[in-house]
Amino acid sequence: MVRAEFSRFVDALSGAAAVTADEWRFINLISDNLEALVPLGTSAGKRAKYLVSVAYPGFAGVSVQPPSTSLGASAPARKLIQLNALTVGPFRGFGVPQDFDLSSQVTLLYGPNGTGKSSFCEALEYCLLGTVNDCSAKRISVREYLKNARTQSFESPTLLGCYVGAGPEPIIADEDVYRFCFVEKNRIDDFSRIASFTPAQQEKLIAALFGIGEFDAFVSNFNESIQPYLQQSSTAISELASLEKALISHRELAANKPLLLKALAEEEALLADSYESGISYPTFVQSIGGHETGIIKSLTDRLSLPVKIKTGVLRSVLSDAMGSVWTAWSRRAELQGEKEAKAKDISYRDLYTAVLTVESNDPTVCPACDTPLVGSTSVVSNPFQKARRALDALAELADIEGRLESGTRHLVTRANGLLAQLSNIERHLTEDERNSKWGGVLREVLAVGRSDPASEWWNPICGVAEGSVPESLEFLTNCVLRMEQEDELSALEDGQREGVRRELGRIT
């Protein structure tokens, strides 16, 4: 398959006048060594090194004529108009000969896996092309690939058909004529999803669709340059090549100097006009100046001004934090009250347990006074039942304690959130605010809050609980209001700075 596609490539080049003598020498080298080059890839420069080894030192003696191919000498193909019959077997999935009538306009194959549908198609491909694409792709000999696995034998299938103006006769395989008659289902499936692949993968899919995937892989495995693998006889040769390359570049630059100067003048005029319509380039350069004077320095100086750090403080966020702390604190206080109401009975726990212990000795009389539990002279209250009720009530205390622990954790979480808010506010106080009475109180409550977040550390400054000082809350509110206004101003300045950046980028 690679040899046939390479021959077509050579035939296409034969009519091209742009092919140089050295290029024909190189093509002849590839043609003469094609079988050795096909399995070699670009890894470690294997293919390039092999080409160098066969090209030198006799490269000048290689023919400059196009290599001969069988394609140009082929007689005009007869036009096949009908397939009549196929006999196949032993061949792939067919162990014994099978005859197929193909004289109808349409032939349909139907059957489960393993019944020979693919083998039938490969038999047609072999009869028309003289080979099977999978043989070349998998580098397996035709007879080895096509023999029946059970009988270990292979017979070439025969295909009868009608050419224009003739009756049924054996069809002669012609890969060049029938090469596009067979497209595998998998290739069509892959091609249907071509839009989801990269350009390199799309190229491979197109090559596979038209049956030239193997040739495409062969072409792709050439190194981009053979130069690194050429043997240099001396350092002088390398230096000479470098100087010659530089000389060519300088000559091209000198030859194109008038055009380059004209293009430069046009670019300068466009640049100046983009800044101010009708202004000349020298005037534009003088106006914008540089790092010392002009518009560039002015814009650069504006961008170099210190940027005020935003506080991120918001009154709504602070209010929510204080409210959540007060709610968590109130809930925990309720649970502590319930716990204290139940806790007074704890001292009687041992007594209740002891009363129930002696019940097994004599459950009919009071363990303290031997009074019968029932009868005309019975005790007023059964001590054993009373002890059980008391112990059941104490179980509620454990539930309250659990909810109290959860409430405390919730309070600590909310208190830490408020602590973060107040710490941020304290960091951004002005000098006067920091030295004021409430600035000192704020530092004190923060110190207490960091060491004991579950305490009522926030009350002296936040004023959200009974007994608080409203003046402290007013102090906080005024500080936060100032910080919000400064953040808004900073955001406005950021927008202005962005405009300065764009203007500086436009003129530089």
Average pLDDT over residues 171-191: 68
pLDDT digits 0-9 by tens, 272-329: 777 778 888 777 777 776 656 666 677 676 667 676 778 888 888 888 888 888 888 8
Instruction: Write down the pLDDT at residue 481.
Output: 92
> Where is pLDDT greater, at 101 or 199?
101
Q: What is the DSSP letter of 86?
A: E
Distance CA 260, CA 276 (A): 24
Whether the ω angle into residue 90 lies within 30 degrees of 0, i.e. cis, is: yes
The whole-chain average pLDDT of the chain stands at 77
Q: Answer yes or no: are the C-beta atoms of 136 and 1 closer than 8 Å.
A: yes
Distance CA 110, CA 123 (A): 16
H or E stretch covering 431: helix 431-435
User: Which one of 32-36, 287-291, 409-413 scores highest in mean pLDDT?
Assistant: 409-413
The count of other CB atoms within 10 Å of the CB of residue 203 is: 14
**373 by DSSP, 3-state: which?**
coil
pLDDT digits 0-9 by tens, 187-216: 555 556 666 667 766 666 666 655 566 666
Instruction: Write down the pLDDT at residue 32.
Output: 79
pLDDT digits 0-9 by tens, 488-500: 888 888 887 788 7
Query: How confident is residue 355, by pLDDT bands cut at 50, 70 and 90?
Result: low
Instruction: Write down the pLDDT at residue 52.
Output: 76
Q: Which of 164-168, 412-416, 437-441 has the lowest mean pLDDT?
A: 164-168
> Where is pLDDT greater, at 371 or 348?
371
Q: What is the pTM of this model?
A: 0.36
The count of other CB atoms within 10 Å of the CB of residue 453 is: 20
285 residue type, one letter = V
406 residue type, one letter = S
Among residues 120, 113, 127, which one has the least CA distance to residue 91?
120
Average pLDDT over residues 439-454: 90
pLDDT digits 0-9 by tens, 39-49: 777 677 777 77
DSSP 216-269: HHHHHTS-S-SGGGSPPS-HHHHHHHHHHHHHHHHHHHHHTHHHHHHHHHHHHH
Query: How confident is residue 87, by pLDDT bands cut at 50, 70 and 90?
Result: very high
Residue 69 has pLDDT above 70, yes or no: no
| Segments in 306-348 forming alpha helices (H) | 315-343
Instruction: Write down the pLDDT at residue 73.
Output: 47
Distance CA 206, CA 16 (A): 25
> Where is pLDDT greater, at 141 or 193?
141
Instruction: Write down the pLDDT at residue 8.
Output: 74
Residue 243 has pLDDT above 60, yes or no: yes
Instruction: Write down the pLDDT at residue 157.
Output: 92
Instruction: Write down the pLDDT at residue 444.
Output: 92
> Where is pLDDT greater, at 501 or 197?
501
- Angle, vertex CA 364, rays to CA 361 and CA 370, nearest 5: 85
